[in-house]
Structure 1
């Protein structure tokens, strides 16, 4: 029985990953919704479902060497400094562009007039924002080990970077489903649609950062944390953004379109081969079977 299961996992590693990641997270979130005293803790642990699935499956597929390679991605910090600037700067620049876009389309320039005050508030709150950013990196790493660390390299071996980004974005977005419409009455169907579109498109940016940083989970976790933090901060300080889903999607589309137009849909690399001679950012450890 165990042998048959292992064969199926090796033949369909991504399906095994999706089933395991979803099951771990969704079961914990379901229990959390029914036990108030443990709600926050179980919700937090449930967010690590993708990482837990990746860490369980990787040694079965790629052995101890594959597991060491996966875990080492959390400590890869030596890469082009521009990538750090991009990971921290894109969320801020995106918010500014969103304000400009909103003002131009709606002819409501009131939010844009408060841009200076908003940026000053950002600087005044920098200490707390940095602490929140660091804490957020730990939290979102529970996702990034799975989506970027496990799933993306396997999809890149069969598809171009654009297609792999879209597929990762799709499985990543659907993973959030228990927290969205129709399961959460706080959200509407349009919230779900905009969320799915946004998360699929922004996956292009994650892929670009990931493959140009020698597959650094640290960097994509930094970007993930910075993006989430900026969304929360901007929504709290700029109330009009809470319903500006379409504008947010347009801004993300601009960044994604720039990447695809510059590099093409196949490979998003702008740097030469890595020092460890990994070809084009694809992990040299390949899964047995390699099917979806």
Structure 2
């Protein structure tokens, strides 16, 4: 156990990703309907590694960090709404009369506390734990790209097993592209997981299916969504270059790999 603990402390980032994949993909080989993967895996992986490396307090503080610039709240709510409303306006055929707003409100509330859903299951891991450590090793743009690839590939079992039938393979590049948006928001909100969770929750609460799209119309909407998120990601990279040029102040200092296990202190 001492040896295992030492390995985790020496390689916390690698350990996190290995655990996220192993735990997340563990149901896949068994072919159990509706359980191709466990969405809670990044959260569990982050909690395990943070407990061993003594960084649970930092992770917890990021999850409740709400004092952030006002425009971060606007972006977290406004960007996903702009994408779904904009793509619906371009494609047409949205059925607003079929939207049950009480169900939408209930879903919005439940997604905050359900670890088997993407926001709580993924954000503390991808953004709260992994991103600051990637930022210690790479430039902000490069670390977002690395995280985008790893997070996108992590979702592959959903597509291969057919569990993500409605979304299909287009969800993989969409996950990669939108990771840049999440990383931008995380950095501009002083490392707040709470804000990335808000973005994730809004993004998944009102979706194309909510507006009655199905079949070819749904696939067209998802394609438009990929284009929209790509445009937003490029705009954030090109128009807010300072956010991608330097290592965030609260990223662990890259003074050797073992330095990454040191608790991160928010200035």
Return the TM-score normalized by structure 1: 0.74
Give the secondary structure class of the aligned counterpart of 2:68: coil
SS in 1 for 2:44: helix
Aligned equivalent of 1:260, options 222, 228, 237: 237
State how far apart, in whole Å, the 1-side matches of 2:213 and 2:188 are. 33
Q: Looking at secondary structure, tell me which structure has more helix per residue.
A: 1
Question: CA offset at residue 231 of structure 1?
Answer: 2.1
Structure showing greater radius of gyration is 1
Unaligned runs of at least 5 residues, structure 2? 262-267
Task: Report 1:41-80 matches (<5 A).
Answer: 46-61=38-53, 63=54, 66-80=55-69
After superposition, the CA RMSD in angstroms is 3.1
Call closer, same or farther: CA 1:30–1:75 in 2, change over 3 Å.
farther
CA contact (8 A) 1:210 1:216 kept: yes
The counterpart of 1:214, out of the listed 190, 193, 198, is: 190
Instruction: Quote the Cα distance in structure 2 between the aligned partners of 1:87 and 1:253.
Output: 16
In 2 relative to 1, CA 180–280 (structure 1 residues): closer, same or farther, beyond 3 Å?
Answer: same
TM-score (normalizing by structure 2)? 0.81
Who is 1:172 aligned against? 151
Contact 1:260 1:268 (8 Å CA) reproduced = no
Which range is displaced more, 66-75 or 125-134? 125-134
Confirm or deny: 8 A CA contact 2:152 2:176 kept in the other structure. Answer: yes
SS in 1 for 2:121: helix
Q: 1:284 to 1:11 in 2, by over 3 A?
A: closer
How many pairs align?
253
Alpha-carbon shift at residue 16 of structure 1 (Å): 1.1
Q: Tell me the distance in 1 between the aligned counterparts of 2:225 and 2:200.
A: 15
- How do residues 14-93 of structure 1 correspond to structure 2 at under 5 angstroms? 14-28=13-27, 33-34=31-32, 46-61=38-53, 63=54, 66-93=55-82
The offset of 1:137, in angstroms, is 2.5
Distance 1:80 1:74 in 2: 16
